[in-house]
Amino acid sequence: MQNKFTETFVCGKYVVCAILTMYLISVHQQNEESNIFSWLVHTIAVPIWLVLIICTLLLLTTLICIFALKKQSTPHYQRYKKDRLFGAVWRWRWQDNTMISLWCYCPECDDELLYNEDKGRSLYGQVYKTHFICANCDNQVKATVPGGNKEDALIAVEREIYRKVRNGQFKQAIKSF
């Protein structure tokens, strides 16, 4: 999308430059002087609308270039801000190289999920797992992260996200969303 905008504005700039060049050549042809560079020192009347269009296009092109350069300087993995893990949709933001605001959302209605820590018993002692519940979908459990309470669940999801960043699988996740 960004590339299309950039291409459109760059093309627009070239079109205006071409119109201006043709305009200057036509002025030159009307002139009797034979020196090929003489037109460079002529003053011409340029319509204000043309000046405004040129200035606007130059300004927009400059802003787009600055934006594109800034975007290029951001590491690719920092475009990875959403994934489907443990049955829920997880979203987060990057602050420098650190993941922040990690939380999960319902894959059906996109409501923010609630959590319920489940402490059970097994042959090996107490076992925790954390259920993530959607209040908007009749309190259905949408995701369950085994092995701990809510904090442990968030750490498990973080570890999975960092694993995907390290092995490059995050690129697939960016494409799928």
Q: Which is nearer to Zn ion, 33 or 108 (CB)?
A: 108
Answer yes or no whether residue 114 interacts with Zn ion by CB under 5 A.
no
Answer yes or no whether residue 51 interacts with Zn ion by CB under 5 A.
no
Answer yes or no whether residue 137 interacts with Zn ion by CB under 5 A.
yes
Among positions 57, 89, 104, 106, the unique one binding Zn ion when judged by CB under 5 A: 106
Tell the smallest beta-carbon distance from residue 104 to Zn ion (Å): 11
Stretch that binds Zn ion, among 39-47, 71-79, 96-104, 126-134 (CB under 5 A): 126-134
End-to-end CA distance of the chain: 15
Among positions 61, 136, 149, 169, the unique one binding Zn ion when judged by CB under 5 A: 136
- Site residues (CB under 5 A) for Zn ion, limited to 60-99: none
Q: Which is nearer to Zn ion, 88 or 154 (CB)?
A: 88
Tell me the CA distances in angstroms from 10 to 57, 68, 127, 154, one per residue in order: 8, 13, 61, 45
Answer yes or no whether residue 108 interacts with Zn ion by CB under 5 A.
yes
Q: Which is nearer to Zn ion, 106 or 143 (CB)?
A: 106
Cβ-proximal residues to 20 (8 Å cutoff; 6+ apart), any chain: 46, 50, 54
Stretch that binds Zn ion, among 28-36, 52-60, 77-85, 100-108 (CB under 5 A): 100-108
Answer yes or no whether residue 109 interacts with Zn ion by CB under 5 A.
yes
* Positive or negative torsion for Cα 177, 135, 154, 96: positive
Answer yes or no whether residue 134 interacts with Zn ion by CB under 5 A.
yes
- 3-class DSSP state for residue 65? helix
Chain centre distance of CA 102: 18
- Contact status, residue 103 vs residue 115, Cβ threshold 8 Å: no
* Positive or negative torsion for Cα 17, 22, 28, 30: negative
Name the residue type at position 139: N
* Residues at the site binding Zn ion, with contacts judged by CB under 5 A: 106, 108-109, 111, 134, 136-137
